[in-house]
Amino acid sequence: MPSLPHRRRVSFVYAEEYRGAGTTVMRGEQLAAIARQSVPHSTIDFAPLSRSFRGRHLFLTKGVLKTATAEDFTQWRARGNRILIDPVDEDIPEVALHFADVIVAASRSAAADYRDRFPGTQVAVLDHHVDPRVAPIVSGAARPSLGRVGYFGEPENAFRSGRIDRRVEFIPVDTSRQSPEWLERLPHYSAHYAVRQSRDLDDHKPFLKGFTAAACEAVIIVDRAQQEPHHWLPADYPYWVDSSVDDGSVTETLDRVRRDFGSRTWKRAAESMRLMASQTSRQQIGNQLRALFS
């Protein structure tokens, strides 16, 4: 690992063609803003891909890992940079793995997998933060009076049926560009839907839907087939979809959520969500960033 100056110089690096992508904004621009407030004795920027960096911590966003060449990595290494790679939910390109000083894990399941597969490389957990625009929208907003359920995300990622669509309001979120209109709708839902339609390209999805629901003081409906939620929710959390994910098991859980609204069971679920919110707060992400760049 290169020897770096005492004063930390950190660049969160993005690829221009992915500048507007949600993962670039959140795991690049927004993380850089959190780091400026959390990492002492540092100079931190959000910078486009370049070979000219020298003597820095380079936090390479997912878009950079898709576009950087072996020559880019060779030049960064020759100029004494410490290379941190953030694949988020995709596999790691071979060239990035060869040069990485640190693999950043955006989920606990990813961290465990990376440590097993790449024992010779440092792995650091940096949990996925909630979009900082959520808090001011939710704060002070009137709370919904019944168990209204919303899904926020790309529609093709959700498990759906005709009966489910009658119980859940689907609000599309295009993660390839910035479309913040969906944020304004967050306060209207007391439960968020996160039952996934598995796809071959999925790999270590962070539990961002759960973290966002927690920040909105909503409960989450999620299936046990997903790995990551088990690191955040207790086994007796009441709104797991317990059996095989199908129309019947999902609609039964959705109906139970609506019946339970305001009940003791609902309050027990809400307590689990409050704990999750505290574990993924801006302060906690700041602590992880300090450790990452120490």
Q: Which residues contact 134 (CB under 8 A, 6 or more apart)?
A: 183, 186, 212, 215, 216
- CA–CA distance, 88 with 106 (Å, rounded to integer): 5
pLDDT surpassing 60 at residue 51: yes
Q: In the structure, what pLDDT confidence band is assigned to residue 7 with cuts at 50, 70 and 90?
A: low
Distances (CA, A) of 292 to 56, 105, 108: 13, 11, 16
Structure-token pair, residue 31? 């993380």
Beta strands in 27-72 (DSSP E): 42-48, 57-60
pLDDT of residue 202: 58
pLDDT surpassing 80 at residue 43: yes
- CA–CA distance, 290 with 44 (Å, rounded to integer): 12
Nearest to 233 by CA among 250, 248, 214: 214
Structural domains in the chain? 8-126 (3.40.50), 134-279 (3.40.50.2000)
Q: Which of 30-44, 122-136, 202-216, 225-239 shows the lowest mean pLDDT across its residues?
A: 202-216
Structure-token pair, residue 252? 């039964």
Angle between helical axes of 247-260 and 264-279 (0-180°, round to 10)? 100
Q: Are 86 and 30 in contact (CB under 8 A)?
A: no
Element (H, E) at 286: helix 282-292
**pLDDT digits over 68-101, tens only?**
999 999 999 999 999 999 999 999 999 999 999 9
Q: Are 250 and 151 in contact (CB under 8 A)?
A: no
Burial (0-12, 13-18, 19+ Cβ within 10 Å), 204: buried
Q: Are 85 and 102 in contact (CB under 8 A)?
A: yes
- CA–CA distance, 251 with 55 (Å, rounded to integer): 55
Query: For the whole prediction, is pTM greater than 0.85?
Result: yes
pLDDT surpassing 70 at residue 201: no
Percent of the chain's residues with pLDDT above 70: 94
- CA–CA distance, 207 with 218 (Å, rounded to integer): 14
pLDDT of residue 294: 83
pLDDT surpassing 90 at residue 243: no
- Using the Cα atoms of residue 59, residue 33, residue 67 and residue 86 in order, give the sign of their dihedral: positive
| Average pLDDT of the residues in 258-266 | 93
Element (H, E) at 220: strand 219-223
- CA–CA distance, 130 with 95 (Å, rounded to integer): 30
